[in-house]
Amino acid sequence: MTSTYAFETAEAGSELFRGERPGYIYGRTRNPTQALLEARLASLEGGEAGLAVASGMGAISATMWTLLSAGDSVVIDRILYGNTFAFFTKGLTRFGVNVRLADFTDPDALAQALAADDKTKLVYFETPANPNLRVIDIARISLLAKSAGALAIVDNTFATPILQNPLKLGADLVVHSATKYLGGHGDPLGGAVVGSSALIERIRGTGLRALTGATLSPLNAFLILRGLKTLEVRMERHSRSAQQIAEFIERHPLVSHVAYPGLKSFPQYELAQRQMRQPGGLIAFELEGGVEAGMAFMNRLELVVRAVSLGDAETLVQHPTSMTHATYSADERKRHGISDNLLRLSVGLENVEDLMADIAQALDHVHASKRKAD
């Protein structure tokens, strides 16, 4: 817990600043606790190096400010976390970066977007995507990016390195909101980027040190290290419980649609089976009766918590249109396939029978009220 570091000699301090010897200078760019976390994240993802920062958005912004300049172009998938979508489409564009959207579940659409602009420096996507859990073929998209001379960057927050390793499938960089599953307890904020040593040192020296200052505190680094100790067993529990709950709610008469990579009805089920070790802890679903039914369902829950974020020990539910994805306009949501009555459930570590009982009573109550009104 320090902001600055003592030099053995004045000459040693000068050598550190010139990069002639390893060591610590100032807490904004490197801390011993942070360094240990970075090494473990790199090991888990199969990367050469990692960079831990203050938040997931800090990881994305530090990376983009490092790799992009005015006049460059990027192609992003049409479905992203709301603040990520806003950063690309409303933030980067203010500084002369051209941002194009494509449906990455259709590789031909990305190929066309890349062919249309030879200034494309990178492609960016999430898989599974927030909030509707679309799964994207990492190997195929990464190959297309490389053939166009662009980097492939994947947000692996939903899957974690336990369930999926984008770098091993051809991606150049992986970003995380470590606030979610990596921390796992809903208490620290943090983010991470993992990739080659050369890229990570560029992002540390430019994006973190000079442009964003998105420094992860030593205490939060410690808390995320604590979370990594149980990450594998937690992801197994999240996935197992979510599979049971997804199968359960898919059968309920009030539920009109369920998106979960572990269901055979999921459009990219076969891809998820090849690319992911387990289907994860998030479920997206829609209810008959639209937004009103969804709000009534959430308000009826007793054990499940109404809150944004995900990956906590507690089960969380939220309404993306009015919450995490409110940064999309109504027209953008319609064009990009984010339904107004979509709900997102992050399945926690509670007893699964207790969770299903709570979800069942809420669904049954709204269904009975709807039938009575009809």
Q: Which of 30, 78, 180, 344 is catalytic?
A: 180
174 near 45, Cβ under 8 Å? Answer: yes
In a 3-state reduction of DSSP, which class is residue 193? Answer: strand
Phi-psi region of 274 (alpha: psi -120 to 50; beta: other; left: phi over 0): alpha
The answer to whether 297 touches 55, Cβ cutoff 8 Å, is no
| Contact (Cβ atoms closer than 8 angstroms) between residue 230 and residue 240 | no
Nearest to 50 by CA among 36, 33, 60, 32: 36
What's the CA gap between 350 and 227, in Å, rounded? Answer: 17
Active site residue 180: yes
Q: What whole-number distance in Å separates Cα of residue 152 and Cα of residue 129?
A: 15
Environment class of 178 (CB within 10 Å of its CB; exposed 0-12, middle 13-18, buried 19+): buried
Q: Which residues of 237-266 are buried (b: 16+ CB within 10 A; e: fewer)?
A: bbbbbbbbbbebbeebebbeebbbbbbeeb
Q: Is the dihedral of CA 171, 189, 326, 287 positive or negative?
A: positive
Catalytic residue among 24, 26, 28, 202: 28
- Which one from 72, 77, 155, 172 is the annotated catalytic residue? 155
Active site residue 155: yes
| Torsion angle defined by CA atoms of residues 221, 181, 159 and 81, in that order, rounded to the nearest 10 degrees | -90
Q: Residue 280: which of 160, 171, 137 has the closest Cα?
A: 160
> For 114, how many CA atoms within 13 A lie in the half-sphere containing its CB?
24
User: 30, 72, 78, 81: which one is catalytic?
Assistant: 81
Cα 55 from Cα 139, distance rounded (Å): 27
Peptide bond into 107 cis (omega under 30): no
Give yes or no for a contact between 42 and 182, defined as CB atoms under 8 angstroms apart. Answer: no
Before 22, cis peptide (omega within 30)? no
Catalytic residue IDs: 28, 81, 155, 180
